[in-house]
Structure 1
């Protein structure tokens, strides 16, 4: 279940909002660790730390850190102020946060009867790595600062639970590419907390005053090689939520030429299942117009979704250049921009289509 170790902090490697990366000594040697100061306090060199080293032992990529569970000799202060939503519930690190939709929130009155997104485009993606390229495509069409181009990220709980894990989201928030992050379900640490994807979308619209929302799980992805056993199933559920709330769902395809596994080559089975079987609400599906036989494969696979959804061919000219200018590093499943260009073009095409839906 959990591999426990005691360690000592050697040095601070780097930090970003909500997270500190450390070098720590453990009985087996030296390792990289991650602490979330809002949860456990800020470790300093020389501190003893209690670690969960399960991810290291498993050789996980995205989550390949020893996680700091506690700094026994430097406990943080008790939380102050309101907040009755409990996230990571009934785990040793359950935390209370102030939900935008709870009674003590200043936004409760706004959200109590809120029932519509007023036609707001909602771009839904399978993987967290789609967030930056979607924004690249959107801002290539509507430059940052254009009126009516305010974007919020709604983070589902299928991957990392703390939003603080995402260096990309922190940087995109810092430079204004995101107006804010809304964490929903069991995820936490966003600018706004909400109970469900539904209230998260409503908070994006009515609290953050977003013109566009992007919904995707946090960093990390769980897949089992089975039709239904993957965390991206929640993408179909997000399409339903956007449709029920009278938004304009845009279902971004997960496309790969670099992943040679049959189930992910071309249009991933994750997209075909989430949008073809789980999503019951019609969505706009941006189909990137890619060259050659691979482009034909993507087009033919996307046709499987035409029974319920509106397929929208999206040219990709100019998007490669826009992706090269990304303010954050682009990477998916360990592959960079040039190693799996169609993945990033498909995500950017979703951003381009969303931009075209804005008035």
Structure 2
């Protein structure tokens, strides 16, 4: 069920493409709300709005804000004539997009000309926060020569504009373009499936390296298969089918108090150990001896060591890259100082992918760090 309340917009706090953050007066209090401009049109102070207040009422984390369902100042909105694909289908918020698969799309021919990833690396992450260290390290090691495209799946947030992180990465030139697939929407390119999304990243967006991951938020239940990060294994299979090089980011951490996430998270153990049906490369950072022993034992027990290629990445400038590009990233409220191995693992995947790009593109000069 949805908890619905009416409110009034008091102030506009921030705008970025496709999204407006506002302050609303609701139930006698001033609270934050998000307006998706593509769904409900523009918003301004004084507008009467209908709010989905469920997340705040349930005290959720990533989704802990109100969402504007309707702006009563916008009682008539028109959609563009082009495009026939609906996302969030058969819901009151279904949105029409012009998908790259459609003939009317200006890049449709470029998309249709590609039926393979042609060996390019695809970094596959299970959490949204992992994309920043990976992208930053790639940019640093390739001196910005590698064109990095982010493919956002529908495993978490559906609207890409919710991500401040993606907006920042694009503003700083660390991501060249974005593709949203499945029911996710709001990317530079829209695609119907993960498969066509990967091909769109390569053919239409011109990716040298793809980073594939869900948007902000993840659904987890503490059960073996009841978490949306299980898609990591499915993405490994998809990249393999399309002729790319799957590079999986392991979820490694020692700051989480939950035993199932200590060392190599059960998310990684399940997705790569049981769901992925084909081999991929799993880069891991250099770890302290006792941490390394635990990780390697978990890799063995989960079957990952036998199924996949494990690479220890020694030259891993994650800290330097995040600092150089002024990126402050957190996972579960923890930054790189509180949970360094989590971010170093994502950076190691970026370093490995950058190495593949540099070896393929020998005319591109590497940065001073030795590329793995």
Bigger shift: residues 284-293 or 233-242? 284-293
Say if 2:134 and 2:347, in contact at 8 Å, map to a contact too. Answer: yes
More off after superposition, 12-21 vs 82-91? 12-21
Q: Is the Cα contact below 8 Å between 1:236 and 1:274 reproduced in 2?
A: yes
SS in structure 2 opposite 1:336?
coil
Q: What is the rounded CA distance, in whole Å, between the counterparts of 1:110 and 1:16 in structure 2?
A: 28
Please tell me whether residue 335 in structure 1 is matched to residue 334 in structure 2.
Answer: yes
**Secondary structure of the equivalent of 2:259?**
coil
Residue in structure 1 matching 2:211, options 208, 211, 214? 214
**Cα gap change, 1:76/1:19 in structure 2, threshold over 3 Å: closer, same or farther?**
farther
Q: Secondary structure at the match of 1:335?
A: coil
Pairing of 1:231-250 with structure 2 (within 5 A): 231-250=228-247
Displacement after TM superposition at 1:280 (Å): 1.0
Alignment of 1:157-236 (within 5 A): 157-236=154-233
The equivalent of 2:118 in structure 1 is: 118
**What CA RMSD, in Å, does the superposition of the two structures yield over aligned residues?**
1.4
Distance 2:90 2:105 in 1: 23
CA distance in 2, matches of 1:322, 1:127: 19
Shift in Å, 1:255: 0.8
Q: Which residue of 2 aligns with 1:325?
A: 324
Deviation at 1:103, TM superposition (A): 3.0
Q: In the alignment, is the contact (CA less than 8 A) between 2:316 and 2:344 conserved in 1?
A: no
Question: 1:263 is paired with a residue of what secondary structure?
Answer: helix
Shift of 1:94: 0.2
User: Which runs of structure 2 are paired with 1:100-179 in the superposition (5 Å)?
Assistant: 100-112=100-112, 114-144=114-144, 146=145, 149-179=146-176
Report how many aligned residue pairs link the two structures.
356
TM-score normalised by the chain length of structure 1: 0.96
1:61 aligns with 2:58: no
Shifted more, 24-33 versus 288-297: the winner is 288-297
Corresponding residue of 1:36: 36
The farther-off stretch of 190-199 and 288-297 is 288-297
Alignment of 1:4-15 (within 5 A): 4-15=4-15
1:235-287 C-alpha deviation (Å, 9 max, x unpaired): 11111111000000001101111112111111111111111111112101102
State the 1:141 CA deviation: 1.8
> Does 1:279 find its partner at 2:276?
yes
SS of the aligned residue for 1:105 comes to: coil
Q: Gaps spanning 5+ residues in structure 1: where?
A: none
- C-alpha distance after superposition, 1:295-350 (max 9, x if no partner): 32123323331221111111155332223334332011111121111100000000
- Report the Cα distance in structure 2 between the residues aligned to 1:37 and 1:110, rounded to whole angstroms: 29
**Matches of 2:324 and 2:278, distance apart in 1:** 34
Distance in 2 separating the partners of 1:265 and 1:188: 33
Residues 153-195 of structure 1: CA distance to partner in whole angstroms, max 9, x if unpaired?
Answer: 0000011000000011012112221111100001000000001
Q: Partners of 2:346 and 2:256 in 1: how far apart?
A: 16
Residue of 260, 265, 270 corresponding to 2:267: 270
The 8 Å contact of residues 114 and 202 in structure 2, kept in 1 or not, is answered as no
Task: Mark the CA change 1:178 to 1:317 in structure 2 (over 3 Å): closer, same or farther.
Answer: closer
1:9-24, aligned counterparts within 5 Å?
Answer: 9-24=9-24
Separation of aligned partners in 2, 1:25 and 1:325: 40
Alpha-carbon distance between aligned partners in 2 of 1:104 and 1:191, rounded to the nearest angstrom: 15
For normalisation by structure 2, the TM-score amounts to 0.92
